[in-house]
Amino acid sequence: MTRAEAEALRERRKQQVDPPVCRHLIQEEEVDADGNSTGYYVCNLCGQSAAQSDQAA
């Protein structure tokens, strides 16, 4: 998932009225515009970035 895709998820979530708490259980590797890993993972549901060590177990 690119940063732009993650930002779009975060913006959609901000538009929700009282969105549910996200536990970030499903994460995908974040990549830059060239397809290279940024070293971060992004929640597929809310777009929140987290360092690899912060991934949900």
State pLDDT tens for residues 23-48: 888 999 999 989 999 888 999 999 99
- Alpha carbon 21 to chain centroid distance? 14
pTM over 0.85: no
The domain locations on the chain are: 3-54
Q: For 9-22, write each residue's pLDDT tens digit.
A: 999 999 999 988 98
Whether 37 contacts 31, CB under 8 Å: yes
